[in-house]
Structure 1
Amino acid sequence: MEREFLAKKMNNERSARWAWCTYDWANSAFPTVIVTFVFSAYFTKTVASSVEEGTGLWGLTLSLSAIVIAALSPVLGAAADQKVQRKTYLAFLTAICIICTALLWFVKPSNDSMILALILFAVANVAFEIGVVFYNSLLPGLVPKTHLGRLSGWGWGLGYAGGLVALAIILFFFIKPSTPPLSLNKDAAEHIRIVGPLVAIWFAIFSIPLFILVPEKQVRKHLSATSVMSAGLKSMLHTFKTLKNGGPLARFFIARMFYTDGLNTLFAFGGIYAVGTFGLTFESLIIFGVAMNISAGLGSVLFSWIDDYFGSKETVLVAIIAILILGIPLLIITSVKLFWFFALLLGLFIGPAQSASRTILAKLAPDEKIGEMFGLFAFSGRITAFIGPSILALATMVFSSQRVGMATILMFVGIGGAILITVKIK
């Protein structure tokens, strides 16, 4: 009887871990298809008046949404710790992101659709990023600290695989065919606009296992919503005062503030750079996105064991150094073939930089403040996030060169890496 109970418990734990990873598969279609490769390029090349104007407006929207994310994430994360309703918060934010993403279908290839596109994208992006706070905060309760790197890496790797499959479906079933399915009108860009509803459906279906199978601690039902928010705000303010004294957490958050700003800017403008500077068509852009997801997914899975055996900090530093070394030629070369070569090599290190950062915090954060810490994790990744896109957009407009704009990314990544060296992790 006891053996059966233990076997059932182990099966439930395995199911919960895979369900948690499946959410990464579900939500990665949004940053891959909407933020980085397809919709952002569609907006800058087709909806906006020019590539330069589209790049600037897209960067401004990312900056404004980043400010909102930075302001709300720590408070909501701390509030979730008070009443332990992370899955409820996550479900609500997931629904908002799904609805706004689906509505991107109504963004037509015309300047008249610019405001609609930017508003829908901004709201969806805010909901997506704050939702990740609650998703990440579920991680420490699923495995021992000795296995955090592996589960985090597997989740990230599965996320890249999800982005890959979503991109492949869009490429082979909607963009590449001379006659798209569902009687979609290419002249009205319907074969591209359909990515909004497709990503929304994808996200909705594959997020279901998490809400069914991932366990959560007992809810403290005696706390009212007002009490929860008040207690969360007080806890967050106390944590901010503690962080002022320095320490590993404070230095880690500052380091991540810089290198994540660089990575987020790279994700947001990678597809735009490929189209504007190297002349990739939408079809070529999708193939490039598929290849990048394969590269990044392989990197995440391979480095997940390195994370647990050699250390999360060391994993992030190796990834940062590699990104800096490979990023320089990408700013200089003119050959499309060389662009593919260096970009795919760089992709191997993007996943580990993100995944191992999540593991660092899971190891440093107190158990009773895990939601709050991941709220600050999002805060550290977003409080300066308006600076990266803004500087890139400004440099692009002033010098009329996407290369100059993209060069600003390496500055942020390098500063973050230098600060991370000073962080001590037991």
Structure 2
Amino acid sequence: MKYTKQERDWVMYDVGNSALVLFNTSVVPIYFNAINTAADSAELVTAWANAQTVASLVVALLMPILGSLADFAGNKIKFFLGFFLTGLVLCFAQAIPMGAMPFLVVYVVCTIGLNSSMTFYDAMLPDVTTDERMDTVSSSGYAWGYIGSCVPFIVCIALILGGPAALGLDMLLCVRVSFVIIGVWWLAFTVPLVRAYKQRYAKALAPGETMGGEIAKTIRGLGDTMRRIAHDKAILLYMVAFFFYIDGVHTVISMATTYGTSLGLDSTALILALLVTQFVAFPSAIAYGRLAGKYGTLRMIIIAVVAYVCIVLFAAFYLKTEVEFWILAVAVGLFQGGIQALSRSYFGKLIPKERANEYYGFFDIFGRYASVMGTLLVSVVTSLTGDASLGVLSIGILLIVGLVMLIRLSRIKGMA
């Protein structure tokens, strides 16, 4: 498909931010484990899960209010820039040598900036394309994000694995330099979007009303928005389903490397396996967008949720060796991009376009609280049992609940 300039620039932001997402889910947990040598494997999983929980909770609390304010003309790009720059500065800050707990605090704030910018980025989708092209454009964002993020990631991995021997550098120093490389990449692919983006759909201020008054009105009006959502059965069912099934997706992505490390698997093999996930996810995400056009967006989401149930069961009961982790990585790659892209675009089709940020703000509550619930569940179950496998298994219940909600939605909307 030939992209418009706005579609292309929008897709490129996924190329930029995905580099940090990949680095955070693969190298950063191992780096945190390396600088936190006093903790045992269960404590490492718990600490990392708690950090993910805090970051998700903050974003979930911020987005409804800020999302509603961003729907006014010209605001969306301002909020996007504010959180992007926060994440970028803290990405560079992680290159500074520090102890495990200070690093975790910096990581959490960086993650808040990254994830918040992505909420406003998602809400830009109705502005840059049409309903007919939304599945394909959204899928292309994830697809090119997966393959594009591999470029700086490979450079960083080559530096981390080869730097100590070839250049005589300390491996931890190589990881810190990698944060700078990732930050520069993220910045380079954000500039085109900032320059080209135009907000097509926006709310207007009432005559004589100021933005300060609108902030107070927005806080009071959150209940009205919730009532509008509650009265639209299709949107409500979908958001509840999303709340449960995306939990499994986010938790598998964020906890995979930490879980593999806790099983005693080689860290280099884990990183390379997750790199394979990116290459598999590239064509899979594009294929998912095309299959959605042929067989229906909702049907393809349901297929992906069923696949994730199988992935969680495999991880909990069979994952013991590096080969099995590679199998898991390929399986995740087949469905990861598709379910994220179609979840974003399907919601964009259901909501009123002029209130995209407001609705995506609540959508993000469901997504972020799901992340809070998933990582917290893994943390609690792992802490109580001392077995990370049982923590992973616990999220399978949430995926099944999400699947049931999606099936109920299909009876109302069909599989389109």
TM-score, normalisation: structure 2: 0.91
Q: How many angstroms apart in 2 are the aligned matches of 1:132 and 1:42?
A: 24
In 2, Cα distance between equivalents of 1:192 and 1:180: 15
Change (3 A) 1:196 1:224: farther
SS in 1 for 2:194: helix
1:294 Cα offset (Å)? 1.1
Cα gap change, 1:341 to 1:89, in 2 (>3 Å): same
- Label 1:231 to 1:133 Cα distance change in 2 as closer, same or farther (>3 A): farther
Number of positions where the alignment pairs a residue of Structure 1 with one of Structure 2: 407
Q: Does 1:317 align with 2:302?
A: yes
For 1:224 and 1:213, the matched residues in 2 are separated by 27
Match of 2:29 among 21, 40, 55: 40
1:263 alignment partner, SS class: helix
State the match for 2:175 in structure 1.
Answer: 192
Letter in 1 for 2:91: T
Deviation by residue 1:324-369 (Cα, 9 ceiling, x = unmatched): 1233223222232133123312320111111100011110010111
Rounded Cα–Cα distance in structure 2 between residues aligned with 1:218 and 1:407: 42
TM-superposed CA distance for 1:84, in Å, is 3.9
Which of 328, 331, 334 is the aligned partner of 2:316? Answer: 331
Report the equivalent of 1:49: 38
1:236 alignment partner in structure 2: 222
Aligned counterpart for 1:258 among listed residues 244, 247, 263 = 244
1:152 maps to a residue whose letter is: S
Contact conserved, 1:76 with 1:232, CA < 8 A, in 2? no
Match of 2:384 in 1: 398
Partner of 2:365: 379
In the alignment, is the contact (CA less than 8 A) between 1:82 and 1:231 conserved in 2? no
Q: 1:422 to 1:45 in 2, by over 3 A?
A: farther
In structure 1, the residue matched to 2:282 is: 297
Does residue 205 of the first structure (1) align with residue 188 of the second (2)? yes
Structure 1 residue 413: Cα displacement: 1.8
DSSP-derived class of the 1:421 partner: helix
**In structure 1, what is the Cα distance between the partners aligned to 2:215 and 2:166?**
49
Q: In the TM superposition, what whole-angstrom CA distance separates every residue of 1:125-157 from its partner, at most 9, and x where no partner exists?
A: 111111112111111122221111000000011
The aligned amino acid for 1:295 is: V
1:256 Cα offset (Å): 0.7
Residues 100 and 121 in structure 1, CA contact (< 8 A), matched pair in contact too: yes
The separation in 1 between residues aligned to 2:372 and 2:321, in whole angstroms, is 31
Is the 8 Å Cα contact of residues 79 and 120 (structure 2) preserved in structure 1? yes
Pair 96,48 (structure 1): closer, same or farther in 2 beyond 3 Å: farther
- Residue in 2 aligned with 1:62? 52
What is the alpha-carbon distance in structure 1 between the residues aligned to residue 105 and residue 211 of structure 2? 28
Check the 8 A contact 1:184/1:191 in 2, yes or no: yes
Alpha carbons of 1:15 and 1:342: their partners in 2 closer, same or farther (altered >3 Å)?
Answer: same
Q: CA RMSD in A?
A: 2.2
Partners of 1:194 and 1:418 in 2: CA distance: 46
Equivalent-residue separation in structure 2 for 1:93 and 1:167 (angstroms): 23
